[in-house]
């Protein structure tokens, strides 16, 4: 059983989706502390041939709060401005009509930022026809006093996993020997070179999955999801 665990990110880049597709169960790590200036509530889209940051406004955000405690602001003007910006950026993209209505609906989600991200993950999973099971870490009965890789190992064991796959950045956090001693194989996913046509512009990499979906069919995106190596 292959397990992946990542914090909920706002329409994350293609590598995040490669991880989701590579595992049997993907855990949205929603009961850990919020990180300011990360990717939990913001991401880059393509606007006027370059990357442009969009940010979901949150209420009383604090790094002392869990992600699932950070509520989306009811500042509807700011939310509408994000939707208008995405519309402006992609209204001439080939898959705009298929994708934009769902993105608009998701961005209008009320509740916590993890509620919004979960809704986006479930929709994209269905849109692409992925089979991965998605669960929230807050739904798992576990020892919340554990930290770091000890907590990850416990979650994997609770889910009867024997293979944990993490983003490439986790190489600095997780030790293969310690995982092996707990009966768990550990690998890191390394994204291959991914390019696609963005109008007639010079390609801008590592944007939100919004950009990928606007310019590529579901079958083309699924091909991209397999463009990685495990190390």
Which helix (H) or strand (E) segment is 50 a member of? Answer: strand 50-55
Contact between 51 and 44 (Cβ < 8 Å): yes
Q: What is the pLDDT at residue 16?
A: 98
Mean pLDDT for all residues in the chain: 97
Q: How confident is the model at residue 22 (pLDDT cuts 50, 70, 90)?
A: very high
Q: How confident is the model at residue 21 (pLDDT cuts 50, 70, 90)?
A: very high
Q: What is the pLDDT at residue 52?
A: 98
Averaged pLDDT for residues 58-78: 93
Q: What is the pLDDT at residue 13?
A: 97
Averaged pLDDT for residues 12-26: 98
**pLDDT tens-digit readout, 166-185:** 999 999 999 999 999 999 99
Half-sphere CA count of 70, side-chain side, radius 13 A:
25
Averaged pLDDT for residues 109-126: 97
Dihedral, CA of residue 70, residue 73, residue 78 and residue 83, to nearest 10: 70
C-alpha 17/C-alpha 216 separation (Å) is 15
Averaged pLDDT for residues 134-156: 96
Dihedral, CA of residue 141, residue 144, residue 150 and residue 152, to nearest 10: 50
Residues 6+ apart with CB under 8 A from 186: 164, 165, 166, 174, 175, 176, 179, 180
Closest CA to 26 of 39, 12, 45, 38: 12
**pLDDT tens-digit readout, 44-54:** 999 999 999 99
**pLDDT tens-digit readout, 194-207:** 999 999 999 999 99
Q: How confident is the model at residue 71 (pLDDT cuts 50, 70, 90)?
A: very high
Closest CA to 4 of 159, 192, 222, 113: 159
For residue 229, give both structure tokens: 């190596």
Q: How far is CA 166 from CA 7, 23, 205, 209, 216, in A?
A: 11, 10, 21, 18, 25
Choose between 63 and 223: higher pLDDT: 223
Q: What is the pLDDT at residue 92?
A: 98
C-alpha 9/C-alpha 120 separation (Å) is 10
């Amino acid at each position: 059983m292959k397990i992946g665990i990542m914090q909920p990110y706002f329409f994350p880049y293609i590598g995040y989706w490669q991880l989701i597709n590579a595992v049997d169960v993907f855990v949205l790590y929603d009961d850990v502390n919020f990180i300011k200036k990360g990717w939990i509530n913001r991401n880059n889209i393509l606007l006027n041939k370059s990357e442009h940051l969009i940010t979901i406004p949150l209420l009383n955000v604090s790094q002392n709060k869990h992600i699932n405690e950070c509520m989306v602001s009811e500042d509807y003007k700011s939310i509408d401005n994000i939707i208008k910006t995405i519309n402006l950026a992609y209204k001439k993209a080939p898959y705009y009509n298929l994708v934009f209505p769902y993105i608009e609906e998701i961005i209008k989600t009320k509740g916590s930022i993890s509620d919004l991200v979960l809704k986006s993950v479930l929709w994209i999973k269905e849109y692409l026809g992925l089979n991965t099971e998605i669960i929230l870490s807050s739904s798992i009965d576990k020892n919340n006093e554990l930290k770091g890789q000890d907590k990850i190992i416990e979650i994997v064991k609770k889910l009867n996993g024997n293979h944990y796959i993490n983003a490439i950045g986790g190489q600095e956090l997780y030790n293969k020997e310690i995982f092996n001693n707990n009966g768990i194989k550990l690998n890191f996913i390394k994204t291959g070179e991914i390019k696609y046509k963005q109008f007639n512009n010079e390609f801008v990499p590592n944007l939100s999955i919004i950009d990928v979906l606007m310019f590529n069919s579901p079958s083309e995106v699924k091909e991209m999801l397999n463009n990685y190596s495990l190390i």
